[in-house]
Chains A and B, each alone.
Chain A
């Protein structure tokens, strides 16, 4: 199995093209050949367009031939999670209800990649409407973990993580609502970034839970992931929640701290993330990583995030409530599937949604509708919003003491396909360490940190303050080098 280490780096590809050592066309053809060779087993891509990618590569080769400066991501092969739009390309969101839909516009994050010279290999498989922790909820079949084909890649951005892990793309975009970038990054042994809420425009993202949804990159290294975030971040008039704060030069930060590493930093380790339910091998790997950071000069402080145990129930109330509202738009009127031969509008709505949505999406719409319905709103939805504030205040207090927080990304390594698919609560617990940062709006990154005895990757989650991605990248880069 080719792994992420076999893939080129962003700067390596760009400079090789600039120096004439290779061409963008040659690079994209290598990745297209890998997809042809590997993806029958892994199933990361839902759609590819050979000619589109070659045309993008040709534009880069024209620039290089003229000796013009190359943009940041020149000739770098990317994959895009299929919940993000690219004009004229299918965008299924992993759902039958959007089968055949060709969006008439391009997501801001995707457009920014294209403007920076990226080459798009195709759209990536995911759980339906990004709802899931294993990629088994895709209407187009599960993705297989490149490290063990009988195991899940994690979810919901399973295709995005697996494509990088298998060397089928240099970097990919995913989305994270409760852990959907970080958890698959951990399961597949790659780097996955949850940017701060507001850092990246969501225009062109098919919405799941709008107060939580974020777009972020996957790559083989912290540096490449940071480079991609630098390209896609920034204010956008098309997303009122996107921040007007300036975007730092993350690569410059990484250069600056390449030698110093974590020396002098205060890193917090919350007791609540090392309690019951944590797999022994994951615990050993993360504690080993923390010891290495201590040896490298970081001050490790024990901290407490006391409301952590309430995060999963809080998340599943808020996320499903928002989903039940967002998914009301899929009704067979304007795009996608329409159930044939319905004699009234109301019947058409119901039959379209019955045919188009899978079981997990229906379950979440029902739950979200229930918690918002008359008589239950205060007990569930309002209560969850109150606990969301307590969870957020836990982090704000902790960041008064420490620069970043270290935890396992997931309680276990990748589990087997089918292992949890009949027990929604067990599946939801796969997100136990990731939903807290989602609710609080802070940033995080999952960085590979050892493997299990059977060779399954384990990820360390590094959490940072709002808009302080530079700090978590600095810690992540140090961890990679140790």
Chain B
């Protein structure tokens, strides 16, 4: 499959919907072009045989494997304790619309 065909306009619309983005008619072909260019470049990863390689999600995994006693502390979790949280009035002061207790939003269910 030619690299320019990797992502279709329908794919762009699908991921735009998944990520709650409204793309304009101008943006859709441009994003398609860019995603194809980037994914075409990313395709070189398939040259590597990684069948026996564990995925690495966090740096701490590697340090734990290295087994250095000093770095083991990285994976220690704190005690689960009740602590004060941010002041509600301060938080609500930043909200676009609020009644002081709740965030207000447009209606949730479409009819």
A residues in contact (CB < 8 Å) with B: 101-105, 197-198, 211, 237, 240-241, 243-245, 307, 309-310, 312-314, 316-317, 324, 328, 331-338, 342-351, 353-354, 357, 359, 362-363, 365-367, 369-370, 373, 379-380, 382-390, 392-393, 396, 423-425, 428, 440-441, 466-467
Question: Are B35 and A366 in contact, with the CB atoms below 8 A?
Answer: yes
Provide the bound-state CA to CA distance between A192 and B95, in Å.
36
Q: How far is the CB of A389 from chain B (nearest CB, A)?
A: 4
A211, A240, A324, A353: the one contacting B22 at CB < 8 Å is A353
- Residues 41-59 of B at the A interface (beta carbon under 8 Å): 41-46, 48, 50, 53-59
* 6 further contact pairs, Cβ within 8 A, besides A104-B94, A316-B38: A102-B94, A104-B87, A357-B21, A362-B23, A363-B31, A393-B62
Provide the bound-state CA to CA distance between A400 and B15, in Å.
44
Q: List 24 A-B contacts (CB under 8 A).
A: A211-B57, A211-B58, A237-B78, A241-B60, A244-B73, A244-B76, A310-B45, A316-B42, A333-B95, A343-B107, A346-B20, A350-B20, A351-B22, A354-B22, A362-B27, A362-B31, A366-B12, A373-B18, A385-B55, A386-B53, A387-B48, A389-B54, A424-B34, A428-B38
Question: Are B31 and A350 in contact, with the CB atoms below 8 A?
Answer: no
Question: Are A354 and B34 in contact, with the CB atoms below 8 A?
Answer: no
Question: Are A313 and B45 in contact, with the CB atoms below 8 A?
Answer: yes
**Known contacts A343-B107, A389-B53; A370/B45 CB under 8 A:** no
Nearest A residue to B111 by beta-carbon distance? Answer: A344
**Known contacts A353-B21, A392-B56; A380/B95 CB under 8 A:** no
Question: Are B71 and A353 in contact, with the CB atoms below 8 A?
Answer: no
A103, A333, A385, A393: the one contacting B103 at CB < 8 Å is A333
State the main secondary structure of chain A at its contact with B.
helix
Provide the bound-state CA to CA distance between A303 and B35, in Å.
35
Q: Give every chain B residue within 8 A of A425 (Cβ-Cβ).
A: 37-38, 41
A-B interface contact total, Cβ < 8 Å: 189
Question: Are A313 and B57 in contact, with the CB atoms below 8 A?
Answer: no
Question: Are A350 and B41 in contact, with the CB atoms below 8 A?
Answer: no
Q: Give every chain B residue within 8 A of A354 (Cβ-Cβ).
A: 21-24
Nearest B residue to A314 by beta-carbon distance? Answer: B45
Nearest B residue to A313 by beta-carbon distance? Answer: B42
Provide the bound-state CA to CA distance between A220 and B3, in Å.
45
B42, B50, B77, B108: the one contacting A386 at CB < 8 Å is B50
Question: Are B105 and A373 in contact, with the CB atoms below 8 A?
Answer: no
Provide the bound-state CA to CA distance between A16 and B74, in Å.
40
Nearest A residue to B66 by beta-carbon distance? Answer: A396
Question: Are A310 and B34 in contact, with the CB atoms below 8 A?
Answer: no
Question: Are B18 and A369 in contact, with the CB atoms below 8 A?
Answer: yes
Question: Are A331 and B20 in contact, with the CB atoms below 8 A?
Answer: yes
Provide the bound-state CA to CA distance between A148 and B64, in Å.
46
Question: Are B95 and A197 in contact, with the CB atoms below 8 A?
Answer: no
Q: Judge whether B2 is part of the interface by a CB distance below 8 angstroms.
A: no
Q: Counting chain A CB atoms within 10 Å of each CB, which of B38, B39, B50 scores highest?
A: B38
1/0 per residue, CB under 8 A from A, across B96-111: the answer is 1100000101111010
Q: Judge whether B9 is part of the interface by a CB distance below 8 angstroms.
A: no
Q: Counting chain B CB atoms within 10 Å of each CB, which of A104, A211, A393 scores highest?
A: A104
Question: Are A366 and B71 in contact, with the CB atoms below 8 A?
Answer: no
